[in-house]
Structure 1
Amino acid sequence: MTIRLLLADDETMIRAGVAAIMATDPDLEVVAEAADGRAAVEAARRHRPDVALLDIRMPRMDGLAAAAEIRRAVPATAVIMLTTFGEDDYIARALTGGAAGFLLKSGDPRELLAGVHAVAGGAAFLSPRVAQRVVAHLGGGSRLSRAAAARRRVQALTARERQVLGLVGEGLSNAEIARRLNVVEGTVKAYVSAILARLDVRNRVQAAILAYEAGLVGDDGP
């Protein structure tokens, strides 16, 4: 099934570059572009894309406000924020705005494609470099103290739940996690729901950040 995309960035060259990357994947189709946040919201309402890729800083309405409005108006549209280094505060704020992915404009094109497929499949996706910077800027205290606090929080989970949390942090969808663990997808959905409730986090992105802080990403566990 083709994944329909909306691209929003006030820089024409950036939009053209992202569109060119998307065109290399036959399963992706750019159905609309926008040069500001308000136009992005209008395009999302009109075209109802599967995924919206939004620049964080845009005129008329910034990407954070646009993301929140798109999530309210078109809840089936997943949102990926496109960021640059130096926008850490914006990224941290976007964690509560409903975005499902965070990617660097200067990142590997393969990472961008993987992120689109991940969020279209219902997963969260964080560029590893973005995740590292967000973790470094969340909350107070030292990175070591936050890592220790995150490890204490995840100790409330079972070994299997910690394993699933690590895979959420890697950007895997429920279906992909099910294949990795050789279980049915319904079982993974139950695990993810339990994990969000036990950790008191709102969504998969916040769970993924916690997985990074706790050192679970890339750790398949027992």
Structure 2
Amino acid sequence: MSSEPKIRVMIVDDHFMIRVGLGAIVNSQPDMAVIAEGRNGLEAIELYDKHRPDVTLLDLRLPGLDGVKAIGEIIKKFPEARIIVISTYGGDEDIFRAMQAGARTYYMKHVDGQELVNAIRAVHVGECPIPPDVASRLVARMRRSELSPREMEVCELLVRGMSNKEIANELNISEGTVRVHVSHLLPKLGCTDRAQAIAEAFRRGIVHVTDPPKK
């Protein structure tokens, strides 16, 4: 029997069955053990502070505080934290935000079990094993101009079906300023009209559906 300590893994996902599945994969390995499970971003921060896991598997879309913000808060307090994002969202903006926040790597939830445990071992020793498809999306995102915070807000409201006037009222700015922001964000998204911009925002993971679009 090996005398080496096991890799202590924390799992954070709001879906019970996902936690069960990931836990079964981790606990099936002789050199790993799940030591904590969380359901949202706030629990991720609290549990990390309490247990100091060697590796954390964390979903990106969590209730309350989302995964990107949770990663940022954990890294701010524990720069050495080793976090692997496990997500159903594969947009290049999702990947970019997670890696920018401090995640070591990013995998989709359909990842093969053996590939996942290999990634846990690699991240545990300080490596960043980024899958080829994730790496290509990350490179594509880094080559493009980034939307400003205000342009992001305008884009999110466009997706909700708001007119320029409604966006202006929502953000407490003039309609002219809204038109300027729209004219700037369209070429950054490689689009020529609002409909294309909305579709591209979804494709890249810039926005996600959380509420029904405004009629």
User: Under a length normalisation based on structure 1, what TM-score does the superposition of the two structures give?
Assistant: 0.60
1:118 equivalent in structure 2: 122
1:47-196 to 2 correspondence within 5 Å? 47-140=51-144
Larger Rg: 2
**Partners of 1:13 and 1:133 in 2: CA distance:** 28
1:39-50 to 2 correspondence within 5 Å? 39-50=43-54
Amino acid at match of 1:47: H
Structure 1 pair 12–138 and aligned structure 2 pair: CA distance change class (3 A): same
The count of residues paired between Structure 1 and Structure 2 equals 141
Moved segments of 4+, more than 3 Å: none
SS in 1 for 2:100: coil
1:50: Cα distance to partner? 0.7
Amino acid at match of 1:12: F
1:98: Cα distance to partner? 1.1
**Contact 2:88–2:109 (8 Å) recurs in 1:** yes
SS in 1 for 2:101: coil
1:28 equivalent in structure 2: 32
Q: Percent identity?
A: 40
1:16 aligns with 2:47: no
Unaligned runs of 5+ in 1: 142-222
1:137: Cα distance to partner? 3.2
Amino acid at match of 1:116: I
The alignment's C-alpha RMSD in Å is 1.6
1:131: Cα distance to partner? 1.9
Amino acid at match of 1:75: P
1:153 equivalent in structure 2: none
2:42 equivalent in structure 1: 38
SS in 2 for 1:59: coil
**Partners of 1:93 and 1:85 in 2: CA distance:** 12
Deviation digits for residues 80-106 of structure 1, max 9, x if unmatched?
A: 111224432111112211111111110
**Contact 2:90–2:108 (8 Å) recurs in 1:** no
